[in-house]
Chains A and B, each alone.
Chain A
Amino acid sequence: MTKTVSTASPPAQAPLSGRAEKRRSRHEAPGERSWRRNALRRATPWLFLLVPLALLVTFTYVPVGNMIYYSFTDWDGISPDRNFVGAENYTELFTRPELFRVFAVSLYYLAASAVQIAIALFFATVLSFDLRFRNLFKGILFFPYLINGVAIGFVFLYFFQDGGTLDSVLSWFGANSDHAWLGSPESANTSLAGVSVWRFTGLNFVLFLGAIQSIPGELYEAAQLDGASRWQQFRNIIAPGIRPVLSLSVILAISGSLAVFEIPYIMTTGATGTSTFVIQTVKLAFQFNKTGLASACAVVLLAIILLITWIQRRLVPDERVDLV
């Protein structure tokens, strides 16, 4: 024990602590002292973790536990009494295929996230090289992610309005489209998915940029000396170098597409065939007072996302990146 203490403590502090030890040793038995020190040392990380852990448990695990509990009751969300109904909610959920039909809407968002990752990757690569106004462009690309989702919903509502921003911009180019962008299910879902690309590209971009910049610079120099083109540099240095971040982005994209909520909820409240699984769940809980059934929906969504993530990890294992 003492060995670890002496090696662990920085040399500058060693004489100080030694003196303190001497002073204390006059009053306390050596065994007791080391026990206390020991206990305190061990407890220290937990003391620091106390607040975050308390927050985590209170705001994540207790609510999730409650949700799972509600999913086995017929609670309506308000009534003081709730009855335990066993797996009835789950049976109802799985015998009503129309509840799962809304996952089709997620395909729009899945396609959009492919586009989003491609765009983010492109800009991250381009901006990792020396360019004029590099930082300005980084800022511009990341900016949308900083805006609150509700605000984005409202802004784009005006954007897509009949004769709104999009229509007037298009009219500058002579395209007098006069199109109701949110008018039909296909066009509405595409528009909404477009908004989500606009919003989340910045996040992917920053993740990719960070990963690319962690690749040692000598590699590029060496490649350039060997006469590698930008595309070859991307293929053989950047792409393998950021693989873990890339696969993380794909996982986030899939779970994100399954759980789309705020943009379609604020802009269309799920009308015109833009309802997603989460919107449907919210409506079950708060419009039709079926909190039990809605909780079951939420549990099922959680299970689906965990399952997909697990499968993905099995298919694409997390390899160590070894470039040199």
Chain B
Amino acid sequence: MGKKTLSAALLATTMLTVAGCSGGGSANANETAAAPANPDSVSGTIKVLTNRTDLVQDGTMKKYAAEFNKTYPKVKVKFEGITDYEGEVKIRMNTENYGDVLLIPSVIAKGNYPKFFAPLGNTSSMKKTYRFTDKTNVDGKTYGIATFGTANGFVYNKALWKKAGITEWPTTTQEFLADLQAVKKKTGATPYYTNYKDGWPLSTPWTNGVGSVSCDAKASDELAGTDKPWAKGSDLNTLDTLLYDIVHDDLSEKDPTTTNWESSKSLLAKGKIGSMMLGSWAITQMQDAAKKAGQDPDDIGFMPVPAQKNGKSCATLVSDYQQAVNIHSDHKAAARAWIDWFTEKSGYSASQGAVSALKSETMPTTLQGYVDNDVEMVERSEAKTAEVNAIDDASEIGLNKQDYRQKLIDIARGAQDGSLQDYFDDLNKRWAEARQTVGS
């Protein structure tokens, strides 16, 4: 009897668990999330997942929703701000319950987009209106629209650099290093801040520079076809050598293992830090920090990667998160209406000082310096992103992860044995081997 009860209990639990795991329901796989022709015709409640918990909390998002309701009175928009966006949404995507509108997590392989998101339209026609459509283009269809784009470069404190006697942007990495040296000597400030502990400032901001050195929009795509991404003269080699030299020449903070991103913002604003490699999205945040610290927000400057091609500096333009419609959504038209409205009418990207996803919009004021100095904007091609990511994962290098550059810094400051060239050789080898396995 006892045993039977036990097995019954176990069976019941197992069945509950299994039932819980295999959620039913079928997805309308090829249904395009088209924009509704008549705003009054759409209704329903949609849930928008966002990583901007700050904007959800301070009510900015609610204001956007209220504005949106003036055009679409029957759609109710709810927001869910998620702090650990990548980690949490990725796991939720094993179910059907991941909001109606969401930002595409970067871990989702591009080839899998059709399994998770409703197509928004044909890329050939979307391309005419929007920037960055390349990034979510799978088999001629676009699955996401960028919330905004960002240009790559160094945020720096103009006043501090002026104090060190530098008024011109450096045009070579050697010049940049000499300038940092001058900042250190003449002002006593930390010329460069790695943000080693928080890690992410070492990942995407630096990797986004691929293309800025060679002024080649396809530089990132080309990684898929090379066995030696860190060969001499390549973009990654130039960028990583620059980082190595900065740390090796003691031009970065003394103890990188206990850095703090939040406080680094006000340190830069106060002129205690000279520069940081970041995206242009950081400019408004730094200006805010300057205001809070009682400094002049105009002191925050932004300069391109110190490398020139044919006498011209370049800056890659990359898309930030892309908004997409959940393929399981019951309110696809309403979801699409929100994305379109948010991209076109909300003024979100302008408020962030970022590049709008709309081609018709001009460059934001934060990038005025680039426009004035004729920095060429190179919109990064994403045609082979899926392949590059697959090789990157297989090699366990992590171009968009912090670990490999943390190790680079460790080597540069002597916390780990090895030389830069050995490290590059090792990375090349791993990349080449991974290409073999992924290709096969």
Flag the segment in A38-46, A135-143, A206-214 that touches B: A38-46
Inter-chain contacts of A288 with B (CB < 8 A): 393-394, 396, 398
- Contacting residue for A161 out of B9, B255, B403, CB 8 A: B255
Q: Which residues in A have their C-beta under 8 angstroms from that of B398?
A: 287-288
Q: Please, which residue of chain B has its CB at the minimum distance from the CB of A293? A: B396
For the complex, is A115 an interface residue (Cβ under 8 Å from B)?
Answer: no
Cβ–Cβ < 8 Å partners of B258 in chain A: 157, 160-162, 164, 180, 182
CA distance A180 to B17 in the complex (A): 49
Given A46-B5, A53-B10, A53-B13, verify A184-B415 contact (CB < 8 Å).
yes
User: Are A57 and B257 also in contact (CB < 8 A) when A43-B1, A288-B398 are?
Assistant: no
A160 to B259 alpha-carbon distance, docked (Å): 11
Q: Are A272 and B410 in contact (CB under 8 A)?
A: yes
Which residues of A are found within 8 Å of B93, using beta-carbon distances?
A: 78
Question: How far is A45 from B12 in the complex, measured between Cα atoms in Å?
Answer: 17
In the complex where A288-B396, A288-B398 touch, is A58 in contact with B13 (Cβ < 8 A)? yes
Q: Mark A72-92, 1 if CB is under 8 A from B, else 0.
A: 000011111000000000000
Which one of B108, B255, B396, B407 lies within 8 Å of A162 (CB-CB)? B255
A244 CB–B CB distance under 8 Å: no
The answer on a CB contact under 8 Å between B393 and A290 is yes
- Beta-carbon nearest neighbor of B401 in chain A: A287
- Asked if A170 is an interface residue, CB under 8 A from chain B, the answer is no
Which residues of A are found within 8 Å of B401, using beta-carbon distances?
Answer: 287
B94: CB under 8 A from chain A? Answer: yes
- Taken residue by residue from 179 to 223, chain B's Cβ proximity to chain A (1 for < 8 Å, 0 otherwise) reads as 000000000000000001101000000000000000000000000
B418 CB, nearest partner CB in chain A, Å? 12
Interface centre among A43, A78, A157, A283 (most CB of B within 10 A): A78
Bound complex: CA of A45 vs CA of B3, how far in Å?
A: 12
Given the complex, which residues of A lie within 8 Å of B416, measured CB to CB?
185, 272-273
CB <8 Å contact, A289 and B9: no
Contact of B406 with A by CB under 8 A: yes
Q: Smallest CB–CB gap between B56 and chain A, Å?
A: 23
Q: Enumerate chain B residues within 8 angstroms of A315, measured Cβ to Cβ.
A: none
Q: With a CB–CB cut-off of 8 A, which chain A residues contact B87? A: 286
- Most chain A CB within 10 A, of B196, B256, B257, B416, is at B257
Task: Give Cα A24 to B129, complex, Å.
Answer: 83
A42, A79, A287: the one contacting B2 at CB < 8 Å is A42
Which secondary structure characterizes the binding site on chain B?
helix
- As a 0/1 sequence over residues 1 to 37 of chain B, the CB contacts with chain A under 8 angstroms (1 = contact) are 1100110011011101100000000000000000000
Total of A-B residue pairs, C-beta within 8 Å = 111
User: Is A272's CB under 8 angstroms from B257's CB?
Assistant: yes
Q: Contacting chain B: which of A7-15, A230-238, A263-271? A: A263-271
Which residues of chain A are within 8 angstroms of B199 by Cβ–Cβ distance? 269, 271
Q: How far, in whole Å, are A79 and B1 apart by their CA atoms in the complex? A: 44
In the complex, B293 has a CB within 8 A of chain A: no
The answer, yes or no, to whether B115 is at the interface (CB within 8 Å) is yes
User: With an 8 A cutoff between CB atoms, is A183 at the interface?
Assistant: yes
Give, as a whole number of angstroms, the nearest-CB distance from B145 to chain A.
21
Q: In the complex, which of the residues B9, B107, B256 contacts A46, with contact meaning CB atoms closer than 8 Å?
A: B9
Residues of A within 8 A of B403 (CB): 270-271, 283, 287
Which chain A residues lie closer than 8 Å to B196 at the CB level?
Answer: 271
Question: B326: CB under 8 A from chain A?
Answer: no
Binding site for B on A (CB under 8 A): 39, 42-43, 45-46, 49-50, 53-54, 57-58, 62, 76-80, 157, 160-162, 164, 180, 182-185, 188, 268-273, 283-284, 286-290
Pairs A–B under 8 Å by Cβ, sample size 9: A42-B5, A157-B197, A183-B255, A271-B407, A273-B416, A283-B403, A287-B398, A288-B398, A289-B107
Using A76-B393, A183-B255, A286-B90 as known contacts, list a sample of 4 further A-B pairs with CB atoms less than 8 Å apart, ordered by residue number in A.
A42-B1, A76-B109, A77-B90, A288-B394
Query: Which 9 pairs, one residue from A and one from B, show the smallest C-beta to C-beta distance?
Result: A162-B255, A182-B257, A180-B255, A161-B258, A46-B5, A271-B406, A288-B393, A54-B13, A57-B13
